[in-house]
Amino acid sequence: MEITRDPQGAAGSAYDAIIIGGGIYGITLALEAGRRGLKTLILEKGDFGEQTSFNSLKIIHGGLRYLQSLDLHRFRESVGERTWFLRHFPKRVHPLPCFMPLYGNGMRKPSIFRAALFANHLLSFNRNAKVRPDRHLPMGKVVGVDKSREIFPLLDTAGLKGGAVWYDGFMPDSQLLIMDLLLAAASLGADALNYVQATAIETDSQGHVCGVSGVDRESGTAYQYRSDCVINAAGPWCRKIVEGFDAVPESLFRPSLAWNVLFDRKALSDHALAVQAREPGSRLFFITPWKGKIFAGTGHEPWLGSPDRPCPDREQLLGFIGSLNAAVPGLDLRIQEVGRIFAGLLPTTEAGSNILTKREVIVDHGAVGGPAGLFSVGGIKFTTARLVAEKILTLSRAADVSRSLPGEESRTYAQVEDGTNLELYRDLLARDQSILHLDDLLFRRSLLWEDGEEALQFAEKLCTLFAWNEEKQKQEIDRCRQRLLALPDGI
What is the pLDDT at residue 248? 77
Spacing of C-alpha 19 from chain mean position: 17
Element housing 231 (H / E): strand 230-232
Cα distances from 335 to residues 234, 257, 290, 329, 332, in angstroms, run 32, 19, 18, 17, 10
What is the pLDDT at residue 246? 67
Q: Which amino acid is at 198?
A: A
Residues paired with 95 in a beta bridge: 169
Spacing of C-alpha 262 from chain mean position: 16
Domains of the chain in sequence order: 7-53+175-251+358-395 (3.50.50.60), 94-169+254-348 (3.30.9.10), 416-483 (no CATH)
DSSP 367-405: GGTS-BTEEEEE---STTHHHHHHHHHHHTTPPPP--PP
Residue 29 CA to residue 19 CA, distance in Å, equals 8
Asked if 214 and 197 count as a contact pair (C-beta separation under 8 A), the reply is: yes
For the chain, first and last CA: distance in Å? 42
Neighbours of 355 (CB within 10 A): 11
Residue 415 CA to residue 407 CA, distance in Å, equals 17
DSSP 275-321: E--SSTTPPPEEEEEETTEEEEEEEEEE--S-SSS----HHHHHHHH
Asked if 30 and 190 count as a contact pair (C-beta separation under 8 A), the reply is: yes
Q: pLDDT tens string for the chain (491 positions)?
A: 689 999 999 999 999 999 999 999 999 999 999 999 999 999 999 999 999 999 999 999 998 989 888 899 999 999 999 999 999 999 999 999 999 999 987 778 899 999 999 999 999 999 999 999 999 999 999 999 999 999 999 999 999 999 999 999 999 999 999 999 999 999 999 999 999 999 999 999 998 999 999 999 999 999 999 999 999 999 999 999 998 776 777 888 899 999 999 999 999 999 999 999 988 888 999 999 999 999 999 999 999 888 988 999 999 999 999 999 999 999 999 999 999 999 999 999 888 888 888 889 999 999 988 999 999 999 999 999 999 999 999 998 888 888 889 888 778 898 887 778 899 999 999 999 999 999 999 999 999 999 888 889 899 999 999 999 999 999 999 999 999 999 888 78
What is the pLDDT at residue 255? 92
Collapse the DSSP code of 220 into the 3-class scheme (helix H, G, I; strand E, B; otherwise coil) and give the result.
coil
Collapse the DSSP code of 239 into the 3-class scheme (helix H, G, I; strand E, B; otherwise coil) and give the result.
helix
Residue 376 CA to residue 239 CA, distance in Å, equals 9
Rounded to two decimals, what is the model's pTM? 0.95
